[in-house]
Structure 1
Amino acid sequence: MDALAHVDAYWRAANYLSVGQIYLLANPLLTEPLRPEHIKPRLLGHWGTTPGLNFCFAHLNRIITERDQDMIYVAGPGHGGPAAVAHAWLEGSYTEKYPDVGQDARGMQRLFRQFSFPGGIPSHVAPETPGSIHEGGELGYALAHAYGAAFDNPDLVVACVIGDGEAETGPLAGSWHSNKFLDPACDGAVLPILHLNGYKIANPTVLARIPEEELVKLMEGYGYRPHFVSGEDPEVMHALMAETLDRVFDQIADYRQGRADRLPMIVLRTPKGWTGPREVDGLPVEGTWRAHQVPLTRVRDSPEHLAMLEEWMRSYRPEELFDGRGHPVAEVLETVPEGPLRMSANPHANGGELLRPLVLPDFRDYAVEVKAPARVSTEPTRVLGMFLRDVIAVNPDNFRLMGPDETASNRLSAVFEVTDRAWDAETLPTDENLARGGRVMEVLSEHLCQGWLEGYLLTGRHGLFNCYEAFIHIVDAMFNQHAKWLEACRKIHWRRPIASLNYLLSSHVWRQDHNGFSHQDPGFLDVVVNKKAEVVRVYLPPDANTLLSTADHCLRSRDYVNVIVAGKQPVLDLLPMDEAIAHCTRGLGILEWASSDAGTEPDVVLACAGDVPTLETLAAAALLRECLPELRVRVVNVVDLMRLQPPSEHPHGMSDAEFDTLFTADKPIIFNFHGYPWLIHRLTYRRHGHDNLHVRGYKEEGTTTTPFDMAMLNDIDRFHLVMDVIDRVPGLAERSAHLRQHMMDRRLRARAHTREYGEDPAEIRDWTWPY
């Protein structure tokens, strides 16, 4: 047999295994005629894209073997799960990871039975599948993941199969531009394979129906060299695909050597449901949308469908592909690479195997000096930028900073002292900090930043994604998918831990001086807290030193999604570094210098989380000390939001006894929160003192206005907090009516001042702790 005959044998074997996964409970080798009891009671999974994926895997294996090429795949059509599972089983890596699914008839039956079956494996290219770094359950992110995997992997080629339905999504359309950020000297290559089989679930796809000349111009306009492989005759297609891949990999070699300025890509046109039933019940199936999921739906109760299924599976000639024991024959395995060169066993697809710890400078060296609390202001993210600058300097090929054109805006500009923005397109004399090999990845697409970072992390590296708080919502669904991936990986014994996905959210809801209502939304925290407690962490450091301590902790962590919310505007420095470390280690604590309940039971607890709410809480505590000196006030600041939950709900949670000691079980608690108030209620609803808890936070009141006016619009300001205390401490309202009215008047005067002068009154704008 020649090489293409071996490729065809592999392809037929993979197709056979894929059909078996969708349909069969028993009789895996068809050693007897199919009977209804051999068929699964629920037929789940997707056939339509699967044979095209198997075709790609078969041909890529030949390239890997002949060229000793380091390669992984990204399967954009997540519905091609049967293909990826069949591929891993044929390569032997599935049995290595799951010894009970052996490369024999018994193992094949288990392989079939488990697919989309209770207690088995998902139908997508899921974490359970060796070789996968991309589930594809939600479409649009394959190409971004592929480029993220290629960054800083100079010997790696990432073959990315893009379904034509996925190609219609906005994120995928933007992802084509990732080639402008690739440096052939230090990065790997991405081979996009646009798989056009013509249909989505029930409709034709756009790119499959536009004229080929227009598609060529589109791909060339994106900066690629397109190659077309089209047809349905297997023999012709094998020859054309092999010839095209040889040409493509020669061009990739030229690109890496600087002899070409464009990467190639392939447009693969095959019928949807290729090699499956052509017609069922008098209706066309192969090459139509009807092939998308299960072409034969009544196999258990229709003898005609049952016979068609058997004819379909026997068309692959399984007796030529598997020996009597059910093991793949030598001809099938001839082009399978060895060891870690197998795409299903490549360590880049299990990135924890390659993960090197970050070399981190001592964050204490960047500490802001705090001689007295809340007297001097610092921009926290500017301080963090100096730390990140040196993280980048000592990790030149292992860490990247992602952000949608906001690195400088978020005050992280110190990083440009040691690196540039990655850029491989035209530059002008007026440009600054653009260069091939830059470690800062900026593109005005949150989807791309997220996708790049996920691909980078999943292949064993580290990074941080900085973003305006309001617009991180753009990647809500991507965050969901990554969190689910991490949740699943925790239950998979062979998946090694990877670096955490770290978000830095700045330019936040309370300081949108230039933008206003459209930029005011802290709701990403609510989305994050929906995920499993084992995966998510939320931090709200109130000043520069707590931000440094938090960032260091997050960069060292594994298998989490860490969300850090920190402002870029000047905020008061509250804690010297040693106290900041202790405070962050606890996750929350009493600010003793701001409290007046030392040694006694408090009359009221003022709690806070977030830099601006903390400032207003401190100012309220100072007002209460001035106006009601007999009142015993405890000020509690929360850095780690998950500490508010019980330990039964989150690993960081506090016991009820600890919570009651800190917040009391029967005293009023006024909680000033960065986000939507109900999130605090949701985290604490089981606590003894929950009936006494009153939360202030963002309540969808906003505009372009001054910082203090923004606080007043949402009732988190110092004067309103004092009014809350008067209203809720028993017996205080009756004797503090004058003070309450005075607080109302001060709010009115502050509002009038902003309307007349366009800024907050100096006594508010320049407030510091007076004691």
Structure 2
Amino acid sequence: MQQAARQAQPEHTLSPEELRKMNAYWRAANYLSVGQIYLLDNPLLREPLRPEHVKPRLLGHWGTAPGLSFIYVHLNRIIKARDVDMFFVTGPGHGAPALFANTWLEGSYSEFYTDVPLNGEGMRRLFRQFSFPGGVPSHTAAELPGSINEGGELGYSLVHAYGAAFDNPDLVVACVIGDGEAETGPLAASWHSNKFLNPARDGAVLPILHLNGYKIASPTVLARIPHEELESLLVGYGYTPYFVEGDAPERMHQQMAATLDRIFDDIAAIQRRARREGAKERPRWPMLVLRSPKGWTGPKEVEGQKVEGFWRSHQVPFGEVRTRPEHLQLLEQWLKSYRPEELFDENGAPRAELLDLAPAGPRRMGANPHANGGLLLRELDLPDFRDYEVEVPRPGGALNEATRTMGVLLRDVMKRNAAACNFRVMGPDETGSNRLSALFETTGRAWMAERLPEDLGLSPDGRVMEVLSEHLCQGWLEGYLITGRHGVFSCYEAFIHIVDSMFNQHAKWLHAMKETPWRRPIASLNYLLTSHVWRQDHNGFSHQDPGFIDVVLNKKADIVRIYFPPDANTLLCVTDRCLRSRNLVNVIVEGKQMAPQWLDMDSAIKHSTAGIGIWEWASNDHDGAPDVVMACAGDVPTLETLAAVDVLRQLVPSLKIRVINVVDLMTLQPKEEHPHGLGDREFDSLFTTDKPVIFAYHGYPWLIHRLTYRRTNHKNLHVRGYKEEGTTTTPFDMTVRNDIDRFHLAGDVIDRVPGLGYRAAHIKQHLRDKLIEHEMYIVEHGQDLPEVREWKWPY
């Protein structure tokens, strides 16, 4: 067993010349970082600094930048010395000045942005654009070469890094974790990703915990616990932590070089044991803890107050540079302390000896193709989804668990792409519960931790990833997709809310990526939300929440798609469509319980392709205008709508009813708002311009109003959906509690269709009595009425 923790001692790993050059490269990166935050012009200080050379609004984060650049230059040395395929994940997301600086220094930035060349004018543009209108953001984002994470929110760097390393055996992902970021829940769980990383077939992740001591205005937890306690924590997570600590540049460079050599020796040894010697046990992967001052090499004090090594250096160490001459002088002294005349030639380009330190071509971390995963994306080998058809002799004439059928399709997707190693399914311990257990016929659950003889289905080579952290499932999949692979995330509907914020950041990433010309399209993020709000028979109120859909709809229309397949055949069509799509977030909401099947495959293809349509077989308005339109979206709302139609046909045979089913929720929006939206004329032809519309919807009812408020007939639209009424009860009672059951829907029709006259009172009383009968029956028998449980579409 390897030693649990190691303290690297200063060694003379670097020759005096190597040390001089690497320190110069680091000074250049720090100079460029400061310049981005402060300067509008005069980038090389070829003339005295004047107020107009300084940006009117000083934005950005300095504190973490020198540490990031220190790490970057040392990783460059490792890449060149060992020919390592590596890229850089920036956990301290607002450390972007350092990453813009380093990608510009290595030349990759200018290749992607030819208007920012590697000379003095390019430096001026690099400075001007940073956190400036029409420029680039102050945090890592899709616009930054080499980045795979949206750095505006902390906590996701390490899980993204592991997602990138899965199935990439030759890749090393260096992930810098800020000590503020380390306080977040997702990051705390991410340490356990090492229990899923197989050294025989996956790449390596090098976590680098950067302790600079402070957040925006207070200390960080991990920087203020004793060394022994921190070491024990990291050893307990399963790592061999190496420590590099100090503030003297020369000593730190030597210590860092020696430590990284040892770490990469460890990584090579772990992979050799697994790949050549067949070692099966979980290795203790190395990691690095770098303790350096916040705002290292910046002003030590400003107006008598501590700055370097303190929280005051977190963002802009001092402001009012345009209006206070002493601050202008301080900025000039700070910039000149890096001796730019030694670093850049007469044209403003980095001197040749600095350029020689950077790797070449795709070995540069800003140009690594894994960080632009669309370059590496291979199409999935997909089976023909029609081969999985559920036989439906007539509408409602078969029963099926829709997600079980989807699981069989996913099993074969997994099997056909096994050699390519580019497809995984994530889920929080619910793959079997969500009826996707057919996957286990071709793969196991990924697992590198200890295994017991009685364990079933755990495998180092498993391609189903289960862990009771939605954050890890989401983050692994994001890292996997952004680096050029495919996957599905299956989750209980109520608990997908845990990753609301992660979804939000990924959607923003996709939007920015689409506007970044050199970014190639990636496979879509596909959610399957099941075990949904209407069938939480034993879990009850805590598991009843369909609100993730509302969160998704806040994003840009060119990014999100939401599907409500009413049955298994439609689900197969939608699944195939989602797996083939690019640069989207697809949300599929589908129940897992045994339910009636409505459409044969031919009808399902036509219906899912259109996304919305009249169900002719359920409607009786063929010879004229309907008296009422009954619309539905979702499997349970569809069932209750059709049952309500049956009730109405029995009670009011003359009533003309049109049934509309919605698979693609986005069709309800105007086409000006969403690419799948219906034009007004088409929408009006479906929903009429003046007839009552009763809409049974899977989620919160106001969302349908939000999507349709501009439509002609919106005033006649009445939506039933989940209204936060729930408990542990029968399936049908859940619909009754939320007024979306067949009897309430039929009552809504009676209330809104004119011309029923005095008959309405008798019909309403009948419906009321059925609801009373229902309540009495479930209290006595603990299950739904036989006529509800056994109902079938009779026409």
Inter-partner Cα distance in structure 1 for 2:262 and 2:114: 39
* Residue number among 311, 328, 340 corresponding to 2:350 in the alignment: 328
Root mean square deviation, CA, Å: 0.8
Instruction: Give the SS at the match of 2:31.
Output: helix
Instruction: Give the SS at the match of 2:579.
Output: helix
Instruction: Give the SS at the match of 2:694.
Output: strand
Structure 2 residue 129 is matched with structure 1 residue 105: no
Tell me the residue number matched to 1:158.
173
* Residue number among 693, 711, 730 corresponding to 1:706 in the alignment: 730
Structure 2 residue 717 is matched with structure 1 residue 693: yes
Instruction: Give the SS at the match of 1:464.
Output: strand
1:488-533 deviations in Å (ceiling 9; x for gaps):
1111110100000000000000000120000000000000000000
Return 205-214 or 731-740, whichever deviates more.
731-740
Return 637-646 or 726-735, whichever deviates more.
726-735
Inter-partner Cα distance in structure 2 for 1:458 and 1:279: 42
Give the AA of the match of 2:679.
Answer: S
Inter-partner Cα distance in structure 2 for 1:47 and 1:246: 28
Inter-partner Cα distance in structure 2 for 1:733 and 1:513: 40
Give the AA of the match of 2:214.
Answer: Y
Instruction: Calculate the TM-score normalised by the size of structure 2.
Output: 0.96
Inter-partner Cα distance in structure 2 for 1:90 and 1:509: 53
Tell me the residue number matched to 2:27.
12
Inter-partner Cα distance in structure 2 for 1:84 and 1:522: 40
Tell me the residue number matched to 1:130.
145
1:322-359 deviations in Å (ceiling 9; x for gaps):
10001111121222001001000000000000000111
Q: State the shift of 1:731 in Å.
A: 2.1
Give the AA of the match of 1:760.
Answer: D
Instruction: Give the SS at the match of 1:430.
Output: coil
Give the AA of the match of 2:174.
Answer: A
Tell me the residue number matched to 1:357.
379
Structure 1: tracts of 5 or more residues without a match: none
Q: State the shift of 1:559 in Å.
A: 0.2
Tell me the residue number matched to 1:377.
399
Inter-partner Cα distance in structure 2 for 1:65 and 1:596: 74
Give the AA of the match of 1:433.
Answer: G
**Contact (CA 8 Å) 1:467, 1:506: kept in 2 or not?**
yes
Return 612-621 or 430-439, whichever deviates more.
430-439
**Contact (CA 8 Å) 1:3, 1:335: kept in 2 or not?**
no
Structure 2 residue 287 is matched with structure 1 residue 262: no
Alignment of 1:76-225 (within 5 A): 76-225=91-240
Tell me the residue number matched to 2:602.
578
Give the AA of the match of 2:555.
Answer: K
Structure 2 residue 297 is matched with structure 1 residue 282: no
* Residue number among 383, 387, 408 corresponding to 1:386 in the alignment: 408
Give the AA of the match of 1:380.
Answer: A
Inter-partner Cα distance in structure 2 for 1:495 and 1:488: 9
Instruction: Give the SS at the match of 1:659.
Output: helix
**Contact (CA 8 Å) 1:370, 1:575: kept in 2 or not?**
yes
Inter-partner Cα distance in structure 1 for 2:17 and 2:524: 46
Inter-partner Cα distance in structure 2 for 1:696 and 1:7: 66
Inter-partner Cα distance in structure 2 for 1:311 and 1:531: 45
Q: State the shift of 1:752 in Å.
A: 1.1
Tell me the residue number matched to 1:419.
443
**Contact (CA 8 Å) 1:6, 1:334: kept in 2 or not?**
no
* Residue number among 246, 257, 275 corresponding to 1:242 in the alignment: 257
Structure 2 residue 65 is matched with structure 1 residue 50: yes
Q: State the shift of 1:414 in Å.
A: 0.3
Inter-partner Cα distance in structure 1 for 2:311 and 2:788: 64
Instruction: Give the SS at the match of 1:87.
Output: helix
Tell me the residue number matched to 1:306.
328
Tell me the residue number matched to 1:740.
764
**Contact (CA 8 Å) 2:391, 2:398: kept in 1 or not?**
no
Structure 2 residue 541 is matched with structure 1 residue 517: yes
**Contact (CA 8 Å) 2:150, 2:506: kept in 1 or not?**
no
Tell me the residue number matched to 1:753.
777
1:466-506 deviations in Å (ceiling 9; x for gaps):
00000000000000000000011111110100000000000
**Contact (CA 8 Å) 1:726, 1:733: kept in 2 or not?**
no
Tell me the residue number matched to 1:23.
38
Instruction: Give the SS at the match of 2:79.
Output: helix
Residue identity over aligned pairs, in percent, reads 70
**Contact (CA 8 Å) 2:157, 2:175: kept in 1 or not?**
yes
* Residue number among 327, 337, 343 corresponding to 1:315 in the alignment: 337
Q: State the shift of 1:733 in Å.
A: 5.3
Structure 2: tracts of 5 or more residues without a match: 1-15, 275-281
Q: State the shift of 1:730 in Å.
A: 1.2
Give the AA of the match of 2:21.
Answer: H
* Residue number among 740, 753, 756 corresponding to 1:729 in the alignment: 753
* Residue number among 344, 355, 359 corresponding to 1:337 in the alignment: 359
Q: State the shift of 1:429 in Å.
A: 1.8
Structure 2 residue 504 is matched with structure 1 residue 504: no
Give the AA of the match of 1:152.
Answer: D
Return 255-264 or 95-104, whichever deviates more.
255-264
Inter-partner Cα distance in structure 2 for 1:367 and 1:315: 71
Q: State the shift of 1:258 in Å.
A: 2.2
Instruction: Give the SS at the match of 1:257.
Output: helix
1:3-39 deviations in Å (ceiling 9; x for gaps):
2322212111110000000000000001011110100
Structure 2 residue 49 is matched with structure 1 residue 34: yes
Q: State the shift of 1:394 in Å.
A: 1.0
**Contact (CA 8 Å) 1:386, 1:415: kept in 2 or not?**
yes
Inter-partner Cα distance in structure 2 for 1:86 and 1:756: 72
Instruction: Calculate the TM-score normalised by the size of structure 1.
Output: 0.99
Inter-partner Cα distance in structure 2 for 1:646 and 1:599: 28
1:263-312 deviations in Å (ceiling 9; x for gaps):
10000000000000000011000000000000021211111111111111
**Contact (CA 8 Å) 1:127, 1:488: kept in 2 or not?**
yes
* Residue number among 627, 632, 638 corresponding to 1:614 in the alignment: 638
Alignment of 1:598-747 (within 5 A): 598-732=622-756, 734-747=758-771
1:160-182 deviations in Å (ceiling 9; x for gaps):
00000000111101000000001
Inter-partner Cα distance in structure 1 for 2:761 and 2:17: 95
Structure 2 residue 553 is matched with structure 1 residue 529: yes
**Contact (CA 8 Å) 1:39, 1:299: kept in 2 or not?**
yes
**Contact (CA 8 Å) 1:140, 1:172: kept in 2 or not?**
yes
Instruction: Give the SS at the match of 1:121.
Output: coil
1:652-672 deviations in Å (ceiling 9; x for gaps):
000000000011010000000
Q: State the shift of 1:613 in Å.
A: 0.3
Instruction: Give the SS at the match of 1:732.
Output: coil
**Contact (CA 8 Å) 1:9, 1:331: kept in 2 or not?**
no
Q: State the shift of 1:389 in Å.
A: 0.3
Give the AA of the match of 1:637.
Answer: N
